[in-house]
Amino acid sequence: MTAEPLLRLAEVGMRFADGTAALHEVDLEVSAGQFLAVVGPSGCGKSTLLRLAAGLAKPSSGAVLRRTDEVAYVFQDPALLPWRTVRANVELAAELRGLPKPERRRLAAQAIELVGLEQFAGHRPGALSGGMRMRVSLARSLTLRPELFLFDEPFGALDEISRERLGDEVAKLFGARGFGAVFVTHSVTEAVFLSTRVIVLSGRPGRVVGDFPVPFDYPRPPELRFDERFAHLAGAVSACLRGEAA
């Protein structure tokens, strides 16, 4: 199986105009059905890496090759319109694409069901918890059936329980849809729980210092987080992040 990768970064370096070097010779690949988690110290260039992957910036050296335009970018701010209901917010992406109303409705209803918000479809964002708002944001990106998801620390502002629940949701969606994903996080547990592979970046300029395949099958039960093999792998990723030899 040699599926053409959806995204490939080849020896990517990034140096900003002010001289700040953010990334150094980063190589990575993501194909459909691969969920790549990226961890690294603060300021090591993780968001920069996602911006390059999305085509929002050009690398100063190396190449970014993306085989799809069907990309969803999910970040910490759910960016919902407060005056619109959950349903109307979820419909927004399809609306901006110019899809006819019945099609938008259908896609939105499907996505709302996928993230378990059916009972709240008529509510406005102000009446929802932070975790629920994030679910609305996820549902909105799901309507366009993206091939590649780019997540920039999407659950960083949530409490631990909401964060784990959303992690469970994302793992479920990935198991069902099999998109390609790059997920930036500060949480090693989140990285291991969600991904098929964890990449560890060094301090700035970020370069790949660890690459850990994650062997657990999907669907992943929440209790996996307490499994001994899980703890062992998370421990190895943490040690790498702290700069200890594996």
Interacting residues toward ligand ATP by CB under 6 A: 16, 18, 20, 22, 40, 42-48, 204
Q: Which is nearer to ligand ATP, 18 or 228 (CB)?
A: 18
Q: Which is nearer to ligand ATP, 22 or 114 (CB)?
A: 22
Q: Which is nearer to ligand ATP, 16 or 83 (CB)?
A: 16
**80 to 9, 95, 148, 242: CA distances (angstroms):** 31, 14, 21, 36
Q: Which is nearer to ligand ATP, 46 or 133 (CB)?
A: 46
Distance from C-alpha of 89 to C-alpha of 216, rounded to nearest angstrom: 34
Chain center to CA of 123: 26
Query: What is the smallest separation between the CB atom of 181 and ligand ATP, expressed in angstroms?
Result: 17
Query: What is the smallest separation between the CB atom of 245 and ligand ATP, expressed in angstroms?
Result: 23
For the chain, the 3-state helix, strand and coil shares in percent, each to the nearest 5, are: 40, 25, 35
Which stretches within 122-227 are classed as H helix? 130-142, 160-177, 188-194
Distance from C-alpha of 9 to C-alpha of 61, rounded to nearest angstrom: 11
Query: What is the smallest separation between the CB atom of 50 and ligand ATP, expressed in angstroms?
Result: 8
* Cβ(64)–Cβ(55) below 8 Å: yes
Query: What is the smallest separation between the CB atom of 44 and ligand ATP, expressed in angstroms?
Result: 4
Q: Which is nearer to ligand ATP, 89 or 187 (CB)?
A: 187
- The 61-66 sheet, strands edge to edge: 21-30, 7-15, 61-66
Distance from C-alpha of 48 to C-alpha of 184, rounded to nearest angstrom: 11
Distance from C-alpha of 90 to C-alpha of 128, rounded to nearest angstrom: 14
Query: What is the smallest separation between the CB atom of 60 and ligand ATP, expressed in angstroms?
Result: 12
Distance from C-alpha of 181 to C-alpha of 109, rounded to nearest angstrom: 23
Query: What is the smallest separation between the CB atom of 32 and ligand ATP, expressed in angstroms?
Result: 25
Q: Which is nearer to ligand ATP, 42 or 119 (CB)?
A: 42
Q: Which is nearer to ligand ATP, 180 or 206 (CB)?
A: 206
Bridge partners of residue 64, in order along the sequence: 9
Query: What is the smallest separation between the CB atom of 128 and ligand ATP, expressed in angstroms?
Result: 25
